[in-house]
Amino acid sequence: MAKILFRVLPESGHMNASFGLARELVTRGHRVVYASIDEYEAVIESQGFGFYRLDREIGWGNQARFSARTTRSPLFWLRMQMGKYAFLRKMREDLLDSTAFHREILSLEPDLVFVDSSFVRYVLGLHSLGVPFAVIESQVAPDYETNVPPPISRLVPEDTRISRFKCNLEWLLYFSTRSIAQFFGMHAVESKSFMKRLCQSTGFDYEAIDFKRCFRIGLRSNPEIIVSTPELDFPRTPKANQCYLRTAISSSRSEISYDYRFDRVFAETLAWKASKDFHNLIYCSFGGMSFRYRGMEDFFRRLIRACSGLDKVRLLISLGNELNLGAFEPCPANVFLFRRVPQLKVLQEADLMVMHGGTNSISECILAGVPMLAYPGAVDQPGNAARIVYHGMGLMGKLNRESSDRIKRKIETILNDESFSVQVRNKRNRIMRNSAPDKIDRSINAILNLVAKMTTAKL
């Protein structure tokens, strides 16, 4: 039995994406421990894993909430940029010191560490400790490929020369923008010059670093486990060190606490929906950090206006904890606002989800057979939205530009065109077939074989 440590970014999307792999390892007799902050102790232990408390997370603080304030004030934006420069200077010092994970490594003495791709810069220090590690990628594969645009792009590729040209142009623009940002000191912790210094201080092979990727560097010499569902991606070929994870598809998880009004409103909504044919429930959520996207309050107002003119539609919106419910009053009779709702329960009855394009929400919509209307915010969400359109499972729009009338037309298009629901159900059936026990077993064996082949881990 091996002791396996998981170092995952403390966000729900990253945590939930890693649990499937961790559960499969536990069923094979391995001991799994998560090192994380207090906020996730109950969630981790409820999954049956060990918990190691961190006093604070690397680079983790109140930056998401602070960044939300920058969307409303140029002064806060300026302070945020100054804070970023100071943070990056401190990060460079910490990286060159290469002791980021030493405390938990020395305390737990793991046989293997699975590290979130967000921490990939820090784990080079593990090389000097002689600790084997593999990388977990919870987003779609971020590698450059000729006919696959970068995950930050809204481009929907086609099998044509023009499409390949557009994809390569998108990559060129991305790499150029990144180089400019590195020149001015932003993202400098992943510049080639700094990575050479880091490799010299840690003894890691510089030639094993892959810079031709989106978001973060890659490590060719270490296993990379992609935990997002391959059926959601564009057609592509995994690299030699990459392996897709197959885990059992579950329609249940521990749901966060939700508004006390929800049960009554939801019961009334189900009775209303069952009273006549063609009554539709629309659910809208932009995740737990919707406040960080610029213009969210205005978008919700436009969405509410779009649905107010639809007689056979009810709209349930989960706003999150940061936005003010009173800012949207008075609400139409067919619109209901909450801070939190049990998403899986709502999706079982929903006919459409309006969303930001988060990987976990897309997977849950597919499992529930719900088509999607995506308004991506940032990071990989534009690419996820493009994949929704590519697979015919919904439509996408522009968060800050789309009028109420355009939102309304897109809602009506999805609700009136059965093909979107059919494509979602077809995708779900394919995923379920590929998640049969024998295929899960082969997937885990492939991952363990890859880890054993590329590291010194004894599993």
pLDDT of residue 10: 87
- In the chain, the domains with their CATH numbers are 3-248+435-454 (3.40.50.2000), 262-432 (3.40.50.2000)
Asked if residues 358 and 384 have their Cβ atoms less than 8 Å apart, the reply is yes
What is the share, in percent, of the chain residues with pLDDT greater than 90? 47
pLDDT of residue 78: 63
Mean pLDDT over residues 2-12, rounded?
90
Least confident of 109-118, 193-202, 244-253: 244-253
- Does residue 65 surpass a pLDDT of 70? no
What tokens appear for 455 in the block?
A: 């590291």
- Does residue 228 surpass a pLDDT of 90? no
What tokens appear for 124 in the block?
A: 């080079």
Residue 193 amino acid letter: S
pLDDT of residue 194: 87
* pLDDT 10s digits, 302-316: 999 999 988 899 999
Least confident of 92-101, 114-123, 167-176: 92-101
Residue 64 amino acid letter: A
* pLDDT 10s digits, 406-456: 999 999 999 999 999 999 999 999 998 888 888 888 888 899 899 989 988
Q: What is the DSSP string of 194-232?
A: HHHHHHHHHT--GGGEE-SBSSS-EETTS-EEE-S-GGG
What is the share, in percent, of the chain residues with pLDDT greater than 70? 88
- Does residue 69 surpass a pLDDT of 70? no
- Does residue 335 surpass a pLDDT of 80? yes
- Sorting pLDDT into bands at 50, 70 and 90, what band is 81? low
Mean pLDDT over residues 388-398, rounded?
96
- 């997002």: which residue's tokens? 228
Separation in Å, CA 457 to CA 29, 83, 133, 175, 376: 15, 39, 8, 35, 39
Least confident of 51-60, 165-174, 205-214, 421-430: 51-60
pLDDT of residue 395: 97
